[in-house]
Each structure stands twice: as structure tokens, then as C-alpha cells.
Amino acid sequence: MHAGADRRLGELLASLRDLAGMTQEELADASGLSVRSISDLERDRVFRPRRRSLELLATALDLDRIQAKALIAIARGMPVRWPDGLADSPSAISEPVSQRLKVTPRQLPGLMGGFVGRSAELKMLSGWLDDTVHADRPAAILTIAGAAGVGKTTLAIRWGHQIAERFPDGQLWLNLRGFEPAAAPLSTAEAIRTLLDALNVRPGQIPLTLEAQAGLFRSLLAGRRILVVLDNARDTSQVRPLLPGSPGCLLVVTSRRKLFGLAATEGARLLNLAVLTAGEARQLLTCRLGHARLAAEPEATDDLIRLCAGLPLALGIAAAHADVSSDPRLADLAVQLCNAQTRLDILDGDDPASSLRAVFCRSYQQLSPDAAYMFRLLGLHSGPDISSSAASSLGASPLRQVQEVLSMLTDAHLLTRQPHGRYSMHDLLRVYAREQAEQSETQTSRRAAVNRVLDHYLHTAYAAAQLVSSIPHPPAMAPPAPGVSPEEVTCAEDALAWFEDNKQVLIAVVMQADDPAFHGYALRIAAALATFLDWRGHSQESIDILSAVLFDTKASGDHIGLAHIHLRLGCAHLRLHSLVDADAHLREALDQFAAVDDTAGKGISHRYLSLAFDLQGEYRQAFRHSRAALDMLRQADDQLAEAHMLEAEIKAPA
């Protein structure tokens, strides 16, 4: 299509501006005209533009002399043809492709030092390439997706160099800046223009419309074996216009999103890149700091690997700190990183590319409001993972809506989906999410969210524990708060499965409940969890959990809570045949139940004291406590506990 009298100035000016990759504001700055003037020109609201304005626009748009004259003539309504060099069709370029590609592009960045591991991923990528690159198939598309800082770009570069010889017609590399900390993502016009520049297309030969530019790009790749690597893609829509169309070409895309659209419609193969294993993380630190230094401080090395969450960027920053620090001890660096309040301060380089906060920020900024809100709240959760049901209570949102939001966060690699429908985030992301919650949510809002998720765990655990044990439980604190939906457990099998799935979360809740306002939750959840652990035969774990809340329970003066903690500690020691400890805790439980006049609690305490004396061969004492237990349970009308007493085989005194 040629521009003549039937082509409006506004359409042409907008096309030229888009081709230059400029906004109206940027063109206004470059030309000295106002944004309103440019807007009016593009909408053909100016009947006869001033020649000087048109000349300023031609200069700002980098038009040559012939093009500038054509622009002025079209503005005057003259029936002129736009210069042939700027046609809308690739066929208008008269030179053959072979003459235009005078230089074979070799744009892959140099190999980065310190590359370790990823042997399985490299083997997988090469296997996919062998399966998909054939002369009778469309261009192969492979995507490498993963969290910020996980090493997607490094892997793409490493693999690109390994396979470069299979693409003798060149390798193109383009950073799409989809998640660049300090720059906006490339527009489609900018991306195609950059690729065409790399293929030695002169500015005057580039078509005006994006569709025609994409067609030209595909035409230039036709019949050739070229590797195209598009790094840091924002989403599928940013990549789709840049797809090669010819067999023999390979497109590799890296992104923080999974780009399912390319898999669904273009047959792309997807590689999800996880954090480094502990062994690979150790290799990286060894490469940066040397084997001798790590061997001298093995425990500190383990701490650094754990605190950096296996994230290559974090490990690299930590190694750089250790390398330039005046204090060479790794233990000191590990101690600094242990403080969650300052961890991201330490893992902060001197530019956005080496700052964890900066790379996390870009992913966070691109979330929808609902997803960003859930991400912040997840930073308040004790971890290490969460179910969609618990997340629903955390956010006081309907389950279906929360499941959609969790999928968005997973697609953005801010969450990882685990078995049994659970979701996790690594510790560094959790620290960042908590920071965002503290900045964006009020203290009242944060406390309400934590209360809701604790309510969720407490009421579900309480119901589950009652299905697997006859030992009484501390009364629930209050009904669930509005927005909380405890999970339904209807039988012992469901109860045990729920405890199994949530065991680590419940342990984290108990161990991290250092806020006095949450202590009531901690001791009641600990009591319910101890029931499950005893059922599974993990009595020592039960003792550890209960001991963690014992001191705070004593300090709070909560006699009911203290009685239940001592009762469970006595039972756990009894199962381990630690009879002296069992006797001490059970007697303390008896005293605490007596202090609050809990007859059923006293009866249960006598019951287990009877068992303790029975194990010691003190049958007369056992019989005395057994009779006391039976009398008290009858007084309390606790028929289930009474039945257990009558069923128990207690030896009579000699």
C-alpha cells in the first residue's frame, strides 16, 4: 500500500511514531511541540499544519530528506507516493535476502563465570531440541520459566553456546525487559526494529505497520537455521509477534511467567527452573570462594545455603559480600543473614540487577490488586506452605476466588505448587512479602489476617484431635472470626490425613507464636498436634512441641492451659517409659485441674497416674488412682472416658 492523497497525515504520523518506538510525550520532547499538538495532528484536527512544525517532526523521527519532503507534501494534500524504501510489504524490498545478510549475527552474550549444576536441565533441553528441530516441522519453541534470580538467563546463555554450531546462519539475542528493575518492557515495535537491525535491514526498508514488520522478520529467517533467544519476556503477547515461521529455526524464551499460551497454541515445550539443590549451591559457593574456605566453616556454609534459599542470585551476592568483607569469617555473614528484618538489606547489590528487592519488586508490581494483596498476606503466614482453604481464611475471600489468585501467583513464580494442593514460597520471597505487608497494610489489618488463619488451624485441629483421642482438650477460645472457613473432618482417617498435611505448618505456628496475643492459639494448637504425634508414635516430637509453649503458659497464669500441657507431657513421657518425668507432669496436671475445679481433668490425670504406677509395679498405688479416676469421671458424667477406664486392665493390689 502506498501513501497518496487518500492517506491521511494523522495515520502516517502515528505509524512513523510507532515505528520509532516513541510515545506522543517522547515525540513532543524530541520535537519541541506540545503533546496536544501531536495528538491533534494524529487525529487530523489540524487543517493546514505549519511547515516548521512538520520539519521539527521529521527531524525528531529521523526521516531522511526525501521522506521529510513527502511528509510535508502529504500534509498539503498533494497526491504523492511515499518513498519506495518505506513500503508496507516485505516484497517491496528489491534486494535478495542473501545480499542483505552481509554479516551473520552472533549476538549471544559471553558465558558467565561460576555456572554450576543444571546438568539435568541442559540434557533435557538438548533432548527436546533433538525431538523438535526437523526440516519438515515448524520452528521449535522452548521456554525457560522460573522465579526471579533463579538463573534462567544464565542457563539460556550456557545452552545457547552449546548448541550454537547447530545454527550456522546466526544467533539473535534480545532482552525484552519484561521484568527489568530499572526499565520499561520493550514494545513490540522496539523489539522487531531491534531484530531487523541485527539482520542488517536499513531503516528505509522497514515497513510501517507492525504486521508487515513481523512478516519481514519471518521472511528474513525463511530457509535459514537461526537461533533466536528472547530473554526476560513479560507475557505471551509480547513474544507472539516475534515467532519465527520457518523449519530449522529455534526460539528460546525466558520468563518469570510460565507462558502456557505458547504451549497451547504454538506447541512450545516448557521447562520450569527450580532453585539450586543444596549440593549445587555448595558448588556455586566453592566456585566463588574456594574449597578451603568452605571446608574451614562447614556449618556456616550450610547456614548460607539455607538462608539464600538455593537462589543463585542470592548466593552470588552473599559470596561477593564474603569476598570483599574485611572480616573473612562466613559465620559472621550467616549471623547477619539470620535476621529476617535486615536480610534483604544485606543481599542488595549496588545496581538493580544485583538487588533482590529490585528483582522481586518487578514481579510484584505486575500483579493484579487481588494477587498482590494475597502475596502480602502470605508473607504474614508462618509457613512453610499453605492450602487453598487456609489461604481463603487468611484473606477472608471465597475459596474459588482464592484458588484463581493462587494460580496467578504460581504462574508468576511467586508461589510453588506442592503435592496435595498446597503452595509454598521460598524464605527470601516470604521476607519480601512481609515487608510489603508492613508497608501497605495497617497493623489492624495484619493482625486480623493472622487471627483468621490461626482460627482456621485451631478450629480444624481441635475438631480433628477429638476424632483420634479420648484425652480432653482445652476449650476453644472463641467461635471462628468472620471470613474463616475451618476444614471439615468427619472421621479419624480424615483427621490424621489433615494433621499429616499440616504438621509442619502447625509446628511453625507453635514455634513462632512469640506475640503474647497469639499464645492462646499456640498452646491449644500444640495440645491438638501432640494428640496426633502421640497417635503416630512420635512422643519425643510431642514433648518438644509441648515444652516450647510450657514457659509462656506458666507466665500467663493460664491454669486450664497449663493443666492440659502437663497432662500431655505426662502421657508422652509415659509412652517413652520416662516414668519419673511422667509422674511429675501428671501430678502437676492434677494440681492445676484441681485449681480450676475441673473434675473430668482430675479423673483423666488419676487415670494416667494409675498407668504410671502400674508400669513401676506399684499396684496398690495404681489401684488407688484407678478408683479415684473412675469416681471422678462418673461425677463429671464423662461416659467415654469412664468406658476407657473400665476397659483398662489394672492389676489389683497384692
Q: Are residues 202 and 311 in the same domain?
A: no
Q: Are residues 253 and 302 in the same domain?
A: no
Contacts 24+ apart (CB under 8 A), 275-279: 275/147, 275/150, 275/309, 275/310, 275/311, 275/312, 275/426, 276/116, 276/117, 276/151, 276/310, 276/311, 276/312, 276/315, 277/117, 277/310, 278/302, 278/305, 278/310, 279/117
Question: What's the rounded mean pLDDT across residues 139-146?
Answer: 91
Mind listing the pLDDT tens digit for each residue in 450-473?
Answer: 999 999 999 999 899 888 876 777
**DSSP per-residue letters across 235-251:** -HHHHGGG---STT-EE
Question: What's the rounded mean pLDDT across residues 521-539?
Answer: 89
Q: Are residues 288 and 415 in the same domain?
A: no
Q: What is the pLDDT of residue 640?
A: 53
| Residue 524: inside a domain | no
Measured CA to CA, the distance from residue 82 to residue 3 in angstroms comes to: 5
Which of helix, strand or coil describes residue 646?
Answer: helix
- 3-class SS letters over 191-230: HHHHHHHHCCCCHHHCCCCHHHHHHHHHHHHCCCCCEEEE
Where is pLDDT greater, at 358 or 351?
358
Q: Are residues 264 and 125 in the same domain?
A: yes
Q: What is the pLDDT of residue 137?
A: 61
Measured CA to CA, the distance from residue 16 to residue 74 in angstroms comes to: 14
Measured CA to CA, the distance from residue 583 to residue 586 in angstroms comes to: 5
Cα of first residue to Cα of last residue in the chain, in angstroms, is 112
Grid cell listed for 445: 489489618
> How does residue 347 score in pLDDT terms, banded at 50, 70 and 90?
confident
Question: What's the rounded mean pLDDT across residues 322-345?
Answer: 85
List phi, psi (to 5°) of 478: -165, 165
CA-derived radius of gyration, the chain: 34
How many structural domains does the chain have?
5
- 231-262 burial, b at 16+ Cβ within 10 Å, e below that, comes to bbbbbbebbebbbbebbbbbbbbbbbbbbeeb
> How does residue 652 score in pLDDT terms, banded at 50, 70 and 90?
very low
Mind listing the pLDDT tens digit for each residue in 212-264?
Answer: 888 889 888 888 899 999 999 999 999 998 998 878 899 999 999 999 899 88
Per this entry, what is the length of the chain? 654
Q: What is the pLDDT of residue 97?
A: 42
Q: What is the pLDDT of residue 514?
A: 65
Q: Are residues 263 and 142 in the same domain?
A: yes
Yes or no: say if 601 and 638 are a contact pair by the CB < 8 Å rule.
Answer: no
Q: Are residues 262 and 163 in the same domain?
A: yes
Closest CA to 604 of 633, 574, 562: 633
Name the most confidently modeled range: 42-51, 90-99, 574-583: 574-583
In this structure, which amino acid lies at residue 399?
L
CATH number at residue 608: 1.25.40.10
Residue that terminates a domain, selected from 241, 273, 305: 273
Name the most confidently modeled range: 77-91, 108-122, 327-341, 358-372: 358-372
Measured CA to CA, the distance from residue 247 to residue 252 in angstroms comes to: 14
Measured CA to CA, the distance from residue 75 to residue 454 in angstroms comes to: 69
CA 196 centroid distance within chain:
35
| Residue 163: inside a domain | yes
CATH number at residue 31: 1.10.260.40
Mind listing the pLDDT tens digit for each residue in 263-298?
Answer: 888 888 999 999 999 999 999 999 989 999 999 999
Q: What is the pLDDT of residue 641?
A: 53
Is 317's pLDDT higher than 80? yes
Measured CA to CA, the distance from residue 68 to residue 144 in angstroms comes to: 44
In this structure, which amino acid lies at residue 184?
A
CA 73 centroid distance within chain:
56
In this structure, which amino acid lies at residue 193?
R
In this structure, which amino acid lies at residue 542?
S
Mind listing the pLDDT tens digit for each residue in 585-610?
Answer: 999 999 999 998 888 888 889 988 98
Q: What is the pLDDT of residue 227?
A: 94
Q: Could you give the percent of the chain with pLDDT greater than 70? A: 89
| Residue 452: inside a domain | no
Question: What's the rounded mean pLDDT across residues 559-586?
Answer: 91
Q: Are residues 259 and 304 in the same domain?
A: no
Measured CA to CA, the distance from residue 35 to residue 17 in angstroms comes to: 13
| Residue 450: inside a domain | no
Q: Are strands 269-273 and 385-387 parallel, antiparallel or unpaired?
A: unpaired
Is 75's pLDDT higher than 70? yes
| Residue 518: inside a domain | no
Measured CA to CA, the distance from residue 279 to residue 276 in angstroms comes to: 8
**DSSP per-residue letters across 322-360:** HHH-SS--HHHHHHHHH-TTTHHHHTB-SSGGGBHHHHH
Which of helix, strand or coil describes residue 107?
Answer: coil
Q: What is the pLDDT of residue 74?
A: 85
Yes or no: say if 151 and 277 are a contact pair by the CB < 8 Å rule.
Answer: no
Q: What is the pLDDT of residue 160?
A: 94
Q: What is the pLDDT of residue 644?
A: 53
Measured CA to CA, the distance from residue 593 to residue 600 in angstroms comes to: 9
CATH number at residue 429: 1.10.10.10
Please list the helix, strand and coil fractions of the chain in percent, rounded to the nearest 5, in that order.
60, 5, 30
Measured CA to CA, the distance from residue 412 to residue 403 in angstroms comes to: 14
Contacts 24+ apart (CB under 8 A), 10-14: 10/41, 10/42, 10/43, 10/44, 12/71, 12/74, 12/82, 12/208, 13/38, 13/41, 13/42, 13/57, 13/71, 14/42
Q: Are residues 148 and 262 in the same domain?
A: yes
Q: What is the pLDDT of residue 101?
A: 47
Measured CA to CA, the distance from residue 387 to residue 381 in angstroms comes to: 11
> How does residue 639 score in pLDDT terms, banded at 50, 70 and 90?
low
Question: What's the rounded mean pLDDT across residues 612-622?
Answer: 87
Q: Are residues 129 and 260 in the same domain?
A: yes
Residue that terminates a domain, selected from 273, 290, 319: 273
Q: What is the pLDDT of residue 5?
A: 38
State the residue range of the domain holding 411.
367-441
Q: What is the pLDDT of residue 85?
A: 47
295, 344, 347, 497, 547 from 336: Cα distances, Å: 20, 10, 10, 38, 28
Is 4's pLDDT higher than 50? no
Mind listing the pLDDT tens digit for each residue in 145-160?
Answer: 999 999 999 999 999 9
Closest CA to 148 of 180, 171, 118: 180
Q: Are residues 124 and 251 in the same domain?
A: yes
Grid cell listed for 11: 495515520
Q: Are residues 431 and 386 in the same domain?
A: yes
Q: What is the pLDDT of residue 450?
A: 94
List phi, psi (to 5°) of 255: -165, 155
Q: What is the pLDDT of residue 251?
A: 94
In this structure, which amino acid lies at residue 347?
L
Tell me the helices (H) and strands (E) count for the chain, helix number first: 32, 8
Measured CA to CA, the distance from residue 170 to residue 160 in angstroms comes to: 11
Q: What is the pLDDT of residue 112?
A: 74
> How does residue 536 score in pLDDT terms, banded at 50, 70 and 90?
confident
User: Mean pLDDT for the chain?
Assistant: 85
Measured CA to CA, the distance from residue 270 to residue 273 in angstroms comes to: 10
Q: Are residues 402 and 374 in the same domain?
A: yes
Q: What is the pLDDT of residue 134?
A: 56
pTM to 2 decimals?
0.77
Residue that terminates a domain, selected from 240, 273, 306: 273
| Residue 530: inside a domain | no
| Residue 204: inside a domain | yes
Where is pLDDT greater, at 69 or 390?
390
Q: How many CB atoms lie within 10 A of CB 350?
A: 8
Q: What is the pLDDT of residue 152?
A: 94
| Residue 91: inside a domain | no
Q: What is the pLDDT of residue 99?
A: 47
